Structure 1
Amino acid sequence: MKKYILTLVFIVLSSNLKLQAQEKVTQVQPTIMIIPWVKDGQDIRTILEDDFNKRIAIAKVKEAFDDRGFTTYDFTQKLKQAMNEMALKSDEKTDLKAEIIRLSGADIIIETEVFVQKSSTGNSVKLILEGKDSYTAQSLSNKIGESGKFYTDDIAKLSKKAVESCIEDFLNTMNDKFSGIIENGRSIRINIGFIEDSEHNMDSEIGDEGDLLSDLLEEWMDVNAHNNNFHIQGVSENTMVIDDFRIPLKDPKTGRNYRATKLSSKLRKYIKNKLGLSVKQGKRSEAEVNIIIQ
């Protein structure tokens, strides 16, 4: 009888530990960077330098995330770092905003648009917050915060009121979406094609069993997609488009962010080493993989 009781206790304890581990995973808190919203042609380097009120407002947004225990990265520091890196690569064309986001290492970028309105009936601050997955630019949350009108020139207080009017709803939506990414994976796009004079196409038979190339690629997608979660948009003789392929948020071996470039390398090696086809890497980004079979 004691043996059965001990076994039952062990099973219960094991189950509790598993549940705690699962809860720990789903409670992963994203890292954040607050950046100013910029319109086309506007210089992200000077937008805060030229507007003290915007600088105050964005500082208050960052403060709200800091107060709630989030790890945040400073935009100004990352801007300086990006500018230094770009100076060393002066012969390469690089988008400054994209470089800032890349160097930040943040999971989520909060773009903040600030409106300071002054009138005879009172002054106010209006904020538009948009949270995006820093790797895929998927929108995670959008909210508008308004301070209301007050007879004061204290922009810091008005900015704080504007933030407080929307921050909880913003965070609830953002956390729900981010939890979905943790559970279901980060969505990227995969395009597989052929050079113009290739001897192969998606209907080519590969190996001794005569499997179609398209079928083998689909099997690979099923095995390697996070939780087998992927969607093929279409397959033709010369292309395969996977418009929604899920990769894990974190690399299970290193704990670091899992990048699309790693998935791209894995797919390219499979086509070359397992299927015996010549292949080259097409243009790639954090949200898209392009493979070209020769």
Structure 2
Amino acid sequence: MKKLIWLVFACMLALPGYSQESATRGTANNVRQPNVIVVPYAKEGQDVRQLIENNPLVSRAVSKVKEEFGNRGFTTKDFVTLLKASKRNDIISATTGAKSDPVKDVVLESKADISVEVKIFVNKHANGSSEVSLELQAAEAISGESFANASYTSDKFITQDSLKLAERALGKVNDDFFTQLQNGFNEMMEKGRNLNVRIELGPNSGIDPYTEMKTGNDLETELQDWLSNNSYGGNYDINSSDMVIDISMKVPIYDQVSGKPYNVTKVRGPLISFLKGLLTSEEHEPKTKASSGQQIWIVIQ
């Protein structure tokens, strides 16, 4: 009986998810199929709703690529539906000089893991022939890190029917792109995604990256120790100038306990508390200047 129990236990250890590494790294080592949103390529300031409604090439390409993901078992978010449901004017139509990216805003609202940008256009040649080109670019939705891309063409034909040419290009989308995307996502699950942190040292703060802290170490050294313990897998990069410290650190895509998308507040709060503990004067309290899914900006006045 004891031998049987030991055999069952040994088999459980051999299964994915029962290794010690999986226990310490949470969901990161489990293969997970991402949620995908397919979006159109849009120029800065372009009205995204009009682009979808008035350009049949774009609307067909977005619809067809989304369909291909669905055929392969991916859960997809419908960009057009989310766009129409949104009541925010800055999402529906970006005005010139606006800071927001309307497509990016919809992507973030969708809670998708991956955004796939579709760019489709017609090339007309001097001999009267035309050709439709299709470009796909897959990226992690929050950070924008790209890990899969592909290009397809309809080949050249003497015709004015761009939709037929588009169907030829779309028909060439194959499993290679989806395999590349899944493999890239799996790798990011293992290594984490990038989070950029900027610490700005105000002119009245009286400190720079090499100022000695309460601990006897300078600020940059203390940050390196903190990052070693708090970045995903201990992976980070730090660059300092007189008044700015720029950090690129890895964070998991998903919270290792809840399995939900990782929230940068799990970095921002502890980092600010850490900085407060280092500073010798309460007058120079670190404050958040900006925070998003891919960037944290802290200012010490």
Smaller-chain TM-score bracket: 0.7 to 0.9
Instruction: Give 2:236's aligned residue.
Output: 230
Structure 2 residue matching 1:126: 3-state secondary structure: strand
Q: Does 1:28 align with 2:32?
A: yes
Q: Alpha-carbon deviations, 1:52-86, whole Å to 9, x = none?
A: 23322221111000100111111112112333475
Query: Match for residue 184 of structure 2?
Result: 177
Q: 1:82 to 1:98 in 2, by over 3 A?
A: farther
Shift of 1:116: 5.1
Deviations 1:204-263 (A, max 9, x none): 3333x423222221111110000111122x234533222x31001001233221133442
Q: Would you say how many aligned residue pairs link Structure 1 and Structure 2?
A: 286
Aligned partner of 2:6 in structure 1 is: 7
Aligned equivalents of 1:204 and 1:124: distance in 2?
Answer: 61
Distance in 2, matches of 1:30 and 1:176, equals: 11
Do structure 1's residue 40 and structure 2's residue 44 form an aligned pair?
yes
CA distance in 2 between counterparts of 1:28 and 1:229 reads: 22
Partners of 1:145 and 1:163 within 8 A in 2: yes
> 3-state SS of the aligned residue for 1:115?
strand
Give the letter aligned to residue 64 of structure 1. Answer: E
Q: Partners of 1:289 and 1:78 in 2: how far apart?
A: 27
Aligned CA distance change for structure 1 residues 202 and 261 (closer, same or farther; 3 Å): same
Paired with 1:51 and 1:141, the residues of 2 have a C-alpha distance of 25
Out of 82, 86, 90, which is 2:86 matched to? 82
| Native 8 Å contact 2:17 2:30 kept in 1 | no
> In the TM superposition, what is the alpha-carbon distance from 1:46 to its structure 2 partner?
0.3
2:207 is matched by which residue type in structure 1? H
Whole-angstrom CA distance in 1 between matches of 2:242 and 2:61: 54
In structure 2, the gaps of 5 or more residues are 92-97
2:76 maps to what in 1? 72
Hey, what does 1:56 align to over in structure 2? Answer: 60
Question: Residues 51 and 238 of structure 1: is their aligned pair in 2 closer, same or farther, counting only changes over 3 Å?
Answer: closer
Q: Deviations over 1:63-111 (max 9, x none)?
A: 0001001111111121123334759xxxx97442232122111111111
Note if contact 1:261-1:285 (Cα within 8 Å) is conserved in structure 2.
no
| Partner in structure 1 of residue 94 of structure 2 | none
TM-score with structure 2 setting the length? 0.80
TM superposition shift of 1:200: 2.7
Provide the alpha-carbon RMSD of the alignment.
3.3
* Cα distance, 1:165–1:26 mapped onto 2, change above 3 Å: farther
Which one of 245, 249, 253 corresponds to residue 240 of structure 1? Answer: 245
Q: How many angstroms apart in 2 are the aligned matches of 1:204 and 1:149?
A: 64
State the partner residue of 2:149: 142
TM-score normalized with structure 1 length: 0.82
For 1:274 and 1:81, the matched residues in 2 are separated by 47
- What is the SS of the residue equivalent to 2:262? coil
State, as a whole percentage, how many aligned pairs show the same letter.
Answer: 29
